[in-house]
Amino acid sequence: MGVLIFLLKTYMVFLMLVLLLYIIRHYTFTLNRALGKQRLYYQDVLDEDLPTVSVLVPMHNEEKVARHILDLLVASDYPKEKLEIIPINDHSKDRTKEILEEYAQRYPFIRPLHRYGDLPRGKQNGLNDALKIAKGEVIIVYDADYLPPKGQIRILAVAFKDPQVGAVMGRVVPINAEKNLLTRLLDIERSGGYQVDQQARYNLNLIPQYGGTVGGFRKRLVIELGGFDARILAEDTELTYKLYLNGYKVAYANIAECYEEAPESWNVRARQLRRWARGHNQVMFKYFIPTILSKNLNFWQKIDGLLLLAIYMQSFLIFLGLLDSLLLFFLGEMEITSSYLFLLFMFAHNSFGNFAPFFEIGTALVLDGAKQKVFLLPLMFFEFIFNIIYASLGFFDALIDLITKRTIIWQKTERFRNA
């Protein structure tokens, strides 16, 4: 029993230390964004020698949204002789195929890729196939529910003039923010994630993340690095690490704002979150050691890289911590240590740990000029609990993937928009 209690207490101390690291991280990012030097993106580089671009739009049963994104891409101000659009129709059973063919007939630069039969489903598989036919030097990816503004492809593509840039990432904004409680919470969560978190990581020369949509990468480079791993659901996170481990960086374009459709039901959000957590943890299992050993990352990039890799495992660790504390309570062993240092950790966690991400979101909302939205922050507590549950399940999924090497099945996020 003594050994068990010792292990339970040790885990609590370990968890406190991990959370303390994340607290420091969140506060560093927030303070940098609020008060620090802001790194310039490349949107002001005007250049007539732009790279050729292939825009890939993975689609599975997207009849509700396909026309919207295609109309906006057609209206793009990017020189049409340097642009091709490849919607990837991935085993759609609705009218997606007909819609794409209709657009392909009207616009010669739209070249749909239809994937049916034995071809494995999934975004990463679709992207790998599209890379084989894409003619552009630069690949820009949009999910089908996105609404890119007229000048956005140019803003994203111009980053690749910098030879150090391997990928670029824009900012995601839910268009249906006012729909219900969930979409409102996702809206403010996205604000924190992009306006503060991503921008601060870009400012501090850490690891801004390529997010798989409203972003792009160099085609040649990704092909040289072996394309996307079909066994990994978070192809975007994987690419981020591949690039950094090979000496390239991800540029973050806060100005490249793009509307998306956020999930409107908790069931859909749960599935999306579980898939993200699963994919992200798959990447963690694959890249944790290479990140530590990399010679292309500096010390702070390694720290940030490891914390970013473990971000979806954090929920699982907190979940274990809750169980641990319950056990310790019923065993009557609540006194873990009498050290004042531990008290400091307790205060740190209780005072800041719960609130640091919220503080980050609050700062983002102020920067966005959305000050009334700050009042919603206390409700994030419920989403926090929700995230712990579904991100933990995603962690288990990834663990089982690692052990059993089972086949990955892609689960598409349901759309809510009227066609």
Partner 1 sequence: MPEVVLLVALFSILLFLPFVPPLIELFLKRDAKPIPIDLERKKEPDYFGKSFINLLATALKDLKIQEVEKPNPVYLKLKLNREEWVGFLNDEKLAESTMDAPVIFTKDTVFLQNHTFKRELVVFGNAVFKNTCLARSLYVKGDCVIKAPLRIARWVHVEGNLLINSNADLGVSVYAREMKIRGWTTFKRAYAKKIDTSDEPLIDKKNVERTINLQGNFGITGSITIGGKERPVFVDGDIFCDGDVQIEGDVWIKGNVFSQESITLKNGVVIGIEGKVKSVVARGEILIEGPFRIYGYIHSEKRVEASP
Smallest separation (angstroms) from partner 1 to the CB of 13 = 29
8, 104, 175, 366: residue in contact with partner 1 (rule CB under 8 A): 175
Q: What x/- string results for residues 268 through 307 when contact with partner 1 is judged by CB under 8 A?
A: ----------------------------------------
Applying CB under 8 A, the span of 59-67, 87-95, 174-182, 272-280 interacting with partner 1 comes to 174-182
Residue whose entry in the numeric block shows the structure tokens 């990994």 = 232
CB 50 → partner 1: shortest distance, Å? 10
**394 binds partner 1, rule: CB under 8 A:** no
- Nearest CA among 45, 43, 50, 42 for reference residue 79: 50
Task: Find the part of the chain contacting partner 1 (CB under 8 A) among 79-87, 162-170, 317-325, 385-393.
Answer: 162-170
By the 8 A CB rule, do 43 and 160 touch? no
> Shortest distance, CB of residue 35 to partner 1, whole angstroms?
16
Report the distance separating Cα 263 and Cα 60, nearest Å. 16
Minimum distance between the CB of residue 257 and partner 1, rounded to whole angstroms?
5
Nearest-CA neighbor of 401 among 319, 246, 264, 283? 283
Does the protein bind partner 1 through residue 117 (CB under 8 A)? no
In this chain, which of 3, 46, 289, 341 binds partner 1, going by CB under 8 A?
46
371 binds partner 1 (CB under 8 A): yes
> According to the binding rule CB under 8 A, does residue 383 interact with partner 1?
no
**# residues near partner 1 by CB under 8 A:** 47
For residue 87, the minimal CB distance to partner 1 (Å) is 19
Residue 102 tokens, joined: 């209709």
Residues 203-222, interacting with partner 1 (CB under 8 A): 205
Q: Give SS3 for 271.
A: helix
Q: Closest approach of Cβ 361 to partner 1, in Å?
A: 13
Long-range contacts of 175-181 (CB under 8 A, 24+ apart): 175/147, 175/259, 175/260, 175/261, 175/262, 176/261, 176/262, 176/264, 176/416, 176/417, 177/262, 179/262, 179/264, 179/416, 180/264, 181/379
Please, which residue, 24 or 175, has the CB nearer to partner 1?
175
The answer to whether 132 touches 99, Cβ cutoff 8 Å, is no
Nearest to partner 1 of 48, 118 (CB atom): 48
Task: Give every CB contact of residue 72 below 8 A, 6+ residues apart in sequence.
Answer: 147, 148, 149, 150
Neighbouring CB atoms inside 10 A of 196's CB total 28
Options 184, 274, 278, 280; binder of partner 1; rule CB under 8 A: 184
Give which of 40, 43, 124 is closest to 408, Cα–Cα. 124
Residue type, position 191, single letter: S
| Cβ(173)–Cβ(370) below 8 Å | no
Of residues 98, 106, 119, 162, which one binds partner 1 by CB under 8 A? 162
Q: Which is nearer to partner 1, 181 or 344 (CB)?
A: 181
Instruction: Give every strand in the sheet of 83-90, ordered side by side.
Output: 113-115, 83-90, 53-59, 138-141, 215-218, 165-174, 249-260
- Contact residues for partner 1 (CB under 8 A)? 39-40, 42-49, 72, 77, 147, 149-151, 154-155, 161-165, 173-175, 177-178, 181, 184, 187, 191, 205, 257-259, 368-373, 375-379
